[in-house]
Chains A and B, each alone.
Chain A
Amino acid sequence: MTRKMIKDHPILNFEHEKKKVVKFTFDGREMEGFEGEPIAAALHSNGVQVYRITPKHERTRGFFCAIGKCSSCFMIVDGVPNVRTCVTALEAGMKVETQTGMGILKPEK
C-alpha cells in the first residue's frame, strides 16, 4: 500500500523525495515511513488510525494531541509498552504493535 502524503501544496514544499524511506512493521505488516518522523504520522499516512485499545472499556484510541501529553497514542514499540508515538521518531526496523490494555512487564534477560 502506498502512503497518502500531501504533495501539491500552494505554500509548503515538503520535499518528501529528499527524505530517507525506512521499513518498519505494524502488527507484523511491513510498512514504509520516513526516518525521524513521528511513528504516529507514519502510521496515519499508511491508513492506520487505531493505535491502542483501552483497558477498561475496550475503546479504540489513536492520535490526538500530537505533543506527547494526552496518552491517546500509546503503543508497544520494540516490546516497550506506553510509548508516546506522536513524539517518538521512526527508525528503520522498528516493531510497532497495537497496545491492548496496559502493557505487560517482562522479566529482564
Chain B
Amino acid sequence: MKTTEILVVGGGPAGLSAAIEAASLGCDVVLMDSDLKLGGQLIKQTHKFFGSREEFAGTRGFEIGNLLFDEVEKYKKEGKLEIFSNTTVTGYYKEDGIVSYTIGEETYDLIKPQRIVMATGAQEKRIAFPNNDLPGVYGAGAVQTLMNVYGVAPGEKVLMIGAGNIGLIVSYQLMQAGVKVAGIVEAMPRIGGYWVHAAKIRRLGVPIYLQHTITEALGDKVIEGAVIQEIDNTFKLVGEPMKIDCDTICMAIGLTPTCELLWSAGCEMKFVPQLCGYVARRDAMMRTSHPDIWVAGDAAGIEEASAAMVEGRIAGLAAAASLKPEGCQMLKEKSTDYLKRLENLRAGETGAKIRCGLEQVCCECWG
C-alpha cells in the first residue's frame, strides 16, 4: 500500500498552500484533487483581490493560482510533492487511518498517510422552485468553470439568483465574456456583496431586484425563462409575478463546507450558521479533534480565498511540524505572522460574521 507523510485532500487555494508549506519543511506530500485541473476556485477568479500585499492585493485570482503552481512545480521537481488530479478521496477508515481514493472513473486504491490536511472546499446550496432541475439552472461555480476555465459561454442571457459577492462578481464576469445578464434577484432588502461590485453592475444597466425571489423556472426540456416576484420582510410573496426572458439561471445562493471525510474520521463537528454549515472544531493551528487531521479553507468555514490560503499555510506547516521536530521553531516564527494576517483579513465590519463563527469552533489547544 502506498504511504506518505502528509496527504492533502483538495488542490484549491487552501490545499495548494498547505502542500507547499509541508513540502518546504522537507515532508513527503501527496496532494489529491477531484477535478481535472488544480486550483479550485482560484483558477476561475478573474477579479483582483483586495487586502494587503501579502494577500496578493491587486492580483487576479487565476494569476495567484499560477504563482502557487510555480511553487508546486518546484517541490514536484525536488520529489517532495506528488500530485494526483481527477482523484476523488472516497473514504477515511478510522481504525487504521487508511484513505481510499478513485482516479477518474475506473482506478481504486488505498494510501496510508501519517497526517492529513482536509482542504475539501465547499459545495453550492440550492433553493427550491418548480423546474429547478432543468438544464440551464447552474451553480455559480459551474458557470465560472465553463466560461473562465474552458471558455464556453453558459448561455446567451442569464438570470442571477443572489446579490452576494459571488452573484455580483459572476454577473460582471458574464458580461466580460459577452453574455447578457437579465437581472439579479436578491431576497434580502439590501445587497450582500461589496458595494464596488454592485456599483459596476448597476452602471452597466443590469437591474438588481431586491426583496424578490424566483418562483418558477420556465421551459419544457431546457430553461426558456423565469418568473420572479416581490417578497416582504417575512419572505411572503407580494406584488405581481414578473416574467424574465433568459436561457440560463445562475444560482449564487451561497456555499456550504464539504465535510464528509471529517465526519468519517470522527472529528468533533459543529453546526455554525456564520460559517455556513457543519465545520470541524479546531485549534489555532487548524488541528481538529483527531490528532492526525488538520482542516483549512472553505471546508473549515466559508470565507474568501485569501483567508483560505493563509489557513492552508498554517495547517500544512503545523501538520509537517508534528512530524519534524526541527520544524517547530519555523512554525512558531511563521505562524505568528500568518495569524496576524488572518486577523487583518477578518478585521472590521465585514469580518464580524466570520469572527463570531470562529469563536464557536476554535479552542485554545487540544492538550
> Which residues of A are interface residues toward B (Cβ below 8 A)?
4-12, 14, 16, 36-38, 41, 44-45, 49-51, 59-69, 72, 80, 83-84, 86-89
Contacts and interface: CB of A to CB of B under 8 A. Distances in A.
B222 A50 contact: yes
A60 B221 contact: yes
The 10 closest A-B pairs by CB, nearest first: A62-B135, A66-B142, A14-B151, A49-B135, A41-B150, A66-B145, A45-B152, A6-B151, A60-B221, A11-B46
Contacts of A9: 151, 176-178
A76 B88 CA distance: 20
A62 B222 CA distance: 9
Summarize B's interface: helix, strand, loop or mixed.
Answer: loop
27 contacts: A4-B153, A5-B153, A6-B151, A6-B152, A6-B177, A7-B151, A14-B151, A16-B151, A36-B36, A49-B135, A50-B221, A60-B222, A61-B133, A61-B135, A63-B135, A64-B137, A64-B138, A65-B124, A65-B139, A66-B141, A66-B146, A67-B35, A67-B141, A68-B34, A84-B105, A87-B34, A88-B105
B316 interface: no
Specify which of A5, A7, A67 lies most central, judged by the most chain B CB atoms within 10 Å of its CB.
Answer: A67
B257 interface: no
Interface residues of B, number: 36
Interface of B: 34-36, 46, 60, 62, 86, 88, 104-105, 123-124, 133-139, 141-142, 145-148, 150-154, 176-178, 221-222, 258
B60 A11 contact: yes
Given A11-B60, A65-B142, A60 B86 contact: no
